Amino acid sequence: MKVVVLAGGNSPERDVSLSSGWMISNALAEKGHAVVLVDVYLGIKTPKSGLNSLFLSQPEYEPGYHEIPTTPPDLELLKKLRYPDTGMFFGENVIDLCRLADVVFLGLHGSAGENGQIQAALDLLNIRYTGSGFSGCVAAMDKSITKELLHVNHLPTASWIYLRHPEELHWEMVEKIGFPCVIKPPRGGSSIGVSIPKNKQEFEDGITLALSKSDGIEHDLIIEKYIEGREFCVGILDNQPLPPIEIIPNEGWFDYEKKYQSGLTQEICPADIPAELAQRMQEAALKIHNVLRLGFYSRIDFKVDRDGNIFCLEANTLPGMTPNSLFPKEAAAAGIAYADLCDRIVTNGQSRR
């Protein structure tokens, strides 16, 4: 198949996406697909032989291109790299190139890549793509919507406060949640803008941090009860749960750096837990996947407290596909090699619309 892999973008998770895109492109080329990796925001120049010629040869990607810096990118600097700047999200030739492909593999993370905007645009253009559709992306990307849907469907999630207008925050609200708590931007990812304050000063700093990482759509935030316990993820592939993976940071919590830098976190898959707990998490993950109307694959994140109670942290419509990402490790534990995983995802994307 002719496949365009969209990566990059202009979200704080840009570098993560570029790493995913690099891995996906190489895997699909290995499976015999004609692949073009393109930065959705910066776009690509038209070769003298035309856009279609890009599918005829597999480019040699720069060594180390998949490596992720320890801090999120400078998005203001990124804007200066864009020429010509049309004011649109899509870079030069991106839409035209996607229309030439049999399917678009979405290797995007954060903001427009996961919040349904790109999915809606591709739907309107009748372009096939991988992953969840518009409605599932909206429900999963906005954690306030996710938590409301989990709550009304009696699915486990930690107590929370959603503040559409942070200036309306009163300490009585915070006291109901208690310290430590978790402050996060509702539509963020990769733990960017997340903090776990233990006192009033840290709380105020956390509010400032979360608002500074807002997606610009709304300046809102979530304050969530902190669940003391172990952290797990359960991937869903083709409506089947994958083996749970346990995440054990060497110190602190599972922040941006620990997610993407080797050696900072232990990841055990299959998780060393009782079969009953694994089954409960897998069943909950599949229910959450379906309640949110997610697509061919997703990843559901959990905390498990000391009493064995499970709590959903969030759902990911486009799980990371980097060298350190959790979803491919779960697939590997189920006997699915990385290239085969990518091939299954792209084949589903091409056939489902």
pLDDT in tens, 223-272: 999 999 999 999 999 999 999 999 987 765 555 554 555 666 789 999 99
Q: Is the pLDDT of residue 349 over 90?
A: yes
Of 54-63, 220-229, 243-252, 322-331, minimum mean pLDDT range: 54-63
Same domain, 208 and 220: yes
Tokens matching residue 58: 């597999």
Average pLDDT of the residues in 139-151: 94
Tokens matching residue 343: 């091939």
Same domain, 260 and 280: yes
Looking at the structure of the chain, the number of domains it has is: 3
Three-class secondary structure of residue 347 per DSSP = helix
CATH of the domain at 191: 3.30.1490.20
Of 25-34, 77-86, 279-288, minimum mean pLDDT range: 77-86
Q: Is the pLDDT of residue 97 over 80?
A: yes
Contact by Cβ (8 Å): 6, 104: yes
State the pLDDT confidence band at 12, using cuts at 50, 70 and 90: confident
Same domain, 118 and 7: yes
Residue 77, C-beta contacts closer than 8 angstroms, at least 6 positions apart: none
For residue 264, the enclosing domain spans 229-339
d(CA 171, CA 184): 17
Same domain, 242 and 216: no
Average pLDDT of the residues in 104-132: 94
Computed over every residue of the chain, the mean pLDDT equals: 88
* Torsion of the alpha carbons at 7, 259, 274 and 236, rounded to the nearest 10: -10
Q: Is residue 259 part of a domain?
A: yes
Three-class secondary structure of residue 162 per DSSP = strand
**Per-residue pLDDT at 279:** 98
Q: How far is CA 226 from CA 222, 270, 345, in A?
A: 12, 25, 34
**Per-residue pLDDT at 63:** 52
**Per-residue pLDDT at 200:** 84
**Per-residue pLDDT at 251:** 60
Cα atoms found within 13 Å of the Cα of residue 276, Cβ hemisphere only: 2
DSSP string, 235-290: EEETTEEPPPEEEEESSS---HHHHHSTTSEEEESS-SS-HHHHHHHHHHHHHHHH
Q: Is residue 295 part of a domain?
A: yes
Same domain, 8 and 110: yes
C-alpha R_g of the chain: 20
The H-assigned helical ranges of 36-133 are 75-81, 94-100, 111-114, 117-124
For residue 73, the tally of other CB atoms under 10 A from its CB is: 18
d(CA 298, CA 241): 10
Same domain, 256 and 274: yes
Contact by Cβ (8 Å): 137, 130: no
